[in-house]
Chain A
Amino acid sequence: NAGVTQTPKFQVLKTGQSMTLQCAQDMNHEYMSWYRQDPGMGLRLIHYSVGAGITDQGEVPNGYNVSRSTTEDFPLRLLSAAPSQTSVYFCASRYGTDTGNTIYFGEGSWLTVV
């Protein structure tokens, strides 16, 4: 199993450009989420999904869009990139939301907006 796979690993965008960070998991996990990680701060939840066809906003959703058309995939779209979106992005998944279902993270996507 590959676990949680994110692409691209690194990306530089110009302000105003749009792009999609891809995330796929092969563990048949119901729950998927996107976090951003900034220096000195904990992971902050952007959007999450509890199953195919269902998405919801997290703590910092503005400027991002998600969809969950399949169980495996959960892409994150930056609609019009801003320098404040320079960050490291992590996709994560877990089997369910019950206690004991730990979160598995991807390797991260480093995004720079200039």
Chain B
Amino acid sequence: GESVGLHLPTLSVQEGDNSIINCAYSNSASDYFIWYKQESGKGPQFIIDIRSNMDKRQGQRVTVLLNKTVKHLSLQIAATQPGDSAVYFCAERGNGQNFVFGPGTRLSVLP
């Protein structure tokens, strides 16, 4: 899950396994959530989004689950590949129009 501090939490998975990255968000009024992938030296890239009136949304190899009861978001990556190695972070849109970003989780794919 998300943590505050200088060190990112790291998830190491074997190539071909499924990955689950978690995010705890803070604002129960948040109505829109996005997962981003950030590779080293690059800007964040959109992966998938979900509105608060949904519990689940699927993309290509990725699924986002939203549990509003416990304010928890997860990103599932199926059949993780070396190219999936990156930092993943969630963003929530709370009050107003701006997003709040989590610190991220580093995903490391082992050969």
How far is it, in angstroms, between the C-alpha of A20 and the C-alpha of B34 when the chains are bound?
Answer: 29
Chain A residues, CB < 8 A from B45? 105
The answer to whether A105 touches B43, judged by C-beta atoms less than 8 angstroms apart, is yes
The answer to whether B46 touches A41, judged by C-beta atoms less than 8 angstroms apart, is no
How far is it, in angstroms, between the C-alpha of A42 and the C-alpha of B36 when the chains are bound?
Answer: 11
The interface size of chain A toward B, counting residues with CB under 8 Å, comes to 25
Sorting the interface of chain B by its residue count into under 10, 10 to 19, 20 to 34 or 35 or more gives: 20 to 34
The answer to whether B104 touches A42, judged by C-beta atoms less than 8 angstroms apart, is yes
Interface residues of chain A: helix, strand, loop or mixed (majority): loop
Q: What residues of chain B have their CB less than 8 Å away from a CB belonging to chain A?
A: 4-8, 31-32, 34, 36, 41-46, 49, 51, 89, 91, 93, 97-104
Contact sample, A vs B, 15 pairs, CB 8 Å cutoff: A35-B101, A40-B5, A40-B8, A40-B103, A42-B100, A42-B101, A43-B89, A43-B91, A48-B98, A99-B31, A103-B91, A105-B36, A105-B44, A107-B42, A108-B41
